[in-house]
Amino acid sequence: MSIPKVLIIGAGQVGFSIAKHLLSCNAAHVALYDVRPGVAEGMALDLSHCLFNVVQCSCDGTDQVDQAFEGADMVVFSAGAPRQKDQKRIDLLIQNAKIVLDIAEIANRKVPAAPFLIITNPVDVLSTIVKRTFPKMHVIGMGCGLDTMRFRYYIASCLKLPTGTVDAFIAGSHDDTMMPLWETARVGAVPLTNLISETDREKILELTRSSGDRIVKSLGRGSSAAAGVLGAQMVHSYFSEDGTAYSADCFMTDCFGVKDCMISLPCVLFKDGVHPIKTPFTEAQRIHFEQTARRIDENAKMVLDGIK
């Protein structure tokens, strides 16, 4: 398999982290693009000095958009206004929608076959907006992937087990309404509902929900380390088709009556698209999921109407 070129839009903390992990795994040629003059070039130079054990990959940076998109096999969007202390994810929506649509328009014109992976928040709404505006684009949203990583970490901590032994997912939307899929969660073949009390499950979910806010309050910015690892893993899984399961935004043509919505479900990434894993829902979860889809739909329509 030839080494793909991955274009990362936004040379911030998350873009840097994704690039670093892709390069350290020898997984991709990385191109960084940032509108701030010199920033992407400087970051690429710094990263290039880390390649002494890498034999195939390279890293370049530019503030020239035409140069950045040339030959890109995937576009990773991690740009936009950063989340500030005490700022809700939904407040980022208007700020970042125009930015992502501008970049998506260029990607759709210059590299129409390249998948467009969205990291920027609010990720579910932005993914829906891009997919509705450019319906032929292969759009992927990080969705509840980061929530799922945190969820597994807190489950493993509760059970005093390595995180890698836990198989559990968060679905729905990457916000406070995230939905834990306890019924399908496992450690090996053992259902987690047999191992963790209802009280502990509530604590785990609250820790998962509050993780993003606690990181922002401590650092003054959102997560970059975990988001970078996850982004790089998703890129690698797409090109290698390794079958790794993620919770990511899947395009649903009809989600309980909501048309053309990007919403997070357990899935695998292949070159022909994002494939949801069949996941049974309880009646309460079905209602919750439908409400989430309608809220994503309403926010997407509000933004698209405002831009028009």
Residues ≥6 apart with Cβ < 8 Å to 151: 168, 169, 170, 180, 204, 205, 208
Cβ(141)–Cβ(248) under 8 Å?
yes
Task: Give one word for 215, left, alpha or beta, with left for phi > 0 and alpha for psi -120 to 50.
Answer: alpha
Dist. CA 293–CA 181, nearest whole Å: 17
- The SS3 call for residue 84 is coil
**Which residues in the chain are classed under CATH 3.90.110.10?**
145-222+243-307
What is the pLDDT averaged over residues 43-58?
Answer: 88
User: What's the average model confidence in pLDDT over 128-139?
Assistant: 96
Total residues belonging to the chain: 308
Decide if pLDDT at 86 tops 80. no
Tell me if the domain spanning 5-141 has CATH number 3.40.50.720: yes
Q: What is the pLDDT of residue 80?
A: 85
pLDDT at 134 over 90: yes
Q: Is the pTM higher than 0.75?
A: yes
First to last CA, the chain: 43
Query: Which tens digits make up the pLDDT trace of 268-296?
Result: 999 999 999 999 999 999 999 999 999 99
Task: Domain 145-222+243-307: give its CATH code.
Answer: 3.90.110.10
Helix (H) or strand (E) holding 192: none
pLDDT band at 258 (very low <50, low <70, confident <90, very high): confident
Percent of the chain with pLDDT over 90: 83
Residue ranges of the chain that CATH labels 3.40.50.720: 5-141
pLDDT on residue 168: 98
What digits encode the pLDDT tens for the residues 199-249?
999 999 999 999 999 999 999 888 899 999 999 999 999 999 999 999 999
Q: In angstroms, how far apart are the furthest CA atoms of the chain?
A: 55
At 268 the pLDDT is: 98
Residue 54: predicted pLDDT? 77
Neighbour-count burial for 158-181, b at 16+ CB within 10 Å, e otherwise = beeeeeeebbbbbbbbbbeebbbb
Sequence-distant (≥ 6) Cβ neighbours of residue 259 within 8 angstroms? 253, 297
Structure tokens at 73: 């096999």
CA–CA dist 139, 40 (Å, integer): 24
pLDDT(82) > 70: no
